[in-house]
Amino acid sequence: MNQKYEKIFQPYKFSSGVEVNNRIMMAPMTTYSSDDHGVVTDAELAYYADRSAGVGAVITACAYVMASGKGFPGQLSADDDSFIPSLKKLAETIQSNGSKAILQIYHGGRQSPPELLPDNQPVSASAVASKEDAPVPREMSEDDIQEVITAFGEATRRAIEAGFDGVEIHGANTYLLQQFFSPHSNRRSDKWGGTLGKRLIFPLTVVNEVEKTVAEHAKKPFIIGYRLSPEEGSNPGITLDDTLQLVDRLANQNLDYLHISVGHFWNGSFRESDRTKSRIVKIYDKVGNRIPVVGVGALHTPDEVAEAMETGVPFIALGRELLMEPHWIEKIRSGKEMEIRTTLSKKDQAELVIPDPLWEKLIGVKGWLPVVD
């Protein structure tokens, strides 16, 4: 192995006590490949098995904590104890190859398509549509809010019972936790909204519920991560200054890491005056001495990952890179980094062990991956 990549392979012990053997995580990516009831399929298990032999941890596609929060066809479910056997298969598949298994847990809120919901009615912090032609969600009542908070705790318990090494709370990508944090989607005047401080209450309460569940049910060290998006383009919308206050509060929780969801690691703010410095690095500068930060975004080669880690950011999550090259880590370790795929060939589905529903998306959505004939 080339010595310049040594930092990638350094082990790390999280504050929870869980240790990973390197600094690369598989980013959570929707697979569209569970069955209609939310049970993991054999094709999905094979996909994860092929990508979990090298990375330190695999963060799964998001699993919905309530049927009212389902966001995609073929989405994994964690909303009932009947899904524990399915989740157990997934955890064991990832762990059998040496990676830690982290279940991402989620509620889609107003982003949930009505046709996927039991009552065809999305819910959110307020009755504000995400865009002009989108469905208007129903504003959540106090009972609704408490039910969702409890559901995140129950999904965490199921992850523990299924043998996962951790959960990642999905507070990014405009889903429900972000909707409560955002001034665009949260127009409430009660204790759950209004000021920035009140818009923080719901996500922090979910974190507290997950932490309480881990303390009560986990018999061994268990990771809790939190994923967030640093800005919104809407006006009103989340600013980077808002997010710096959020991460300051999250750093006081019993979390193991913060995972920053952006398209490109090095991109600066698109709405602040300082547009040159990486938003991930700004967040790291704010709280990186208190909590590990996971960076992500358009880091394709080991040289690009090594350069990003020179900022001090201790972890990098790879998504599209592991779709195109499942053995990214192994090839670096064996000195074969020049053999890493950086494009997706239309002929390589079987070799890449990608389920049909996900393959159709990868090939059909222009610009998602560099597809070649």
Query: What is the domain count for the chain?
Result: 1
Q: Can you give the pLDDT at residue 293?
A: 98
CA dihedral 109, 114, 120, 123 (to 10 degrees): 20
pLDDT of residue 369: 86
Quick check: is 351 in a domain? Answer: no
pLDDT per position as a tens digit, 301-322:
999 999 999 999 999 999 999 9
Q: Which two tokens stand for residue 172?
A: 């990014």
Whether residue 362 lies inside any domain: the answer is no
326-346 per-position pLDDT tens digit: 999 999 999 999 999 989 898
The pLDDT of 338-358, averaged and rounded, is 94
What is the Cα–Cα distance from 169 to 177, expressed in whole angstroms? Answer: 9
Give strand ranges (E) for the chain: 12-13, 19-20, 24-26, 57-59, 63-64, 76-77, 100-106, 123-124, 138-139, 166-171, 223-228, 257-260, 293-296, 315-318, 344-345, 371-372
Domain-located, residue 172: yes
**pLDDT tier at 112, thresholds 50, 70, 90:** very high
Whether residue 1 has pLDDT greater than 80: no
Q: What's 269's domain CATH number?
A: 3.20.20.70
Is the bond preceding residue 236 a cis peptide, omega within 30 degrees?
yes
The residue among 63, 31, 295, 257 whose CA lies nearest residue 164 is 63
Q: Is 87 within the bounds of a domain?
A: yes
| Predicted confidence (pLDDT) per residue in 162-204, tens digit | 999 999 999 999 999 999 999 999 999 999 999 999 999 999 9
Residue type, 288: G
* pTM recorded for the entire structure: 0.97
What is the DSSP track for 183-221? TTT----STTSSSHHHHTHHHHHHHHHHHHHHHHH-SS-
Model pLDDT, residue 2: 86
In-domain check, residue 135? yes
pLDDT averaged over every residue in the chain:
96
- Mind listing the pLDDT tens digit for each residue in 29-53? 999 999 999 999 999 999 999 999 8
- pLDDT at residue 373 is higher than 80: no
pLDDT at 296: 97
Q: Does residue 273 have a pLDDT over 80?
A: no
In the predicted structure, residue 272 carries a pLDDT above the cut 90: no
Report the pLDDT value the prediction gives residue 231, as an integer from 0 to 100. Answer: 96
Residue 371 lies in a domain: no
**What are the tokens at 341?**
């795929």
User: SS3 for 372?
Assistant: strand
Domain with 128, as residue range(s), is 3-340
Within a domain: residue 248? yes
In the DSSP assignment, the letter for residue 119 is T
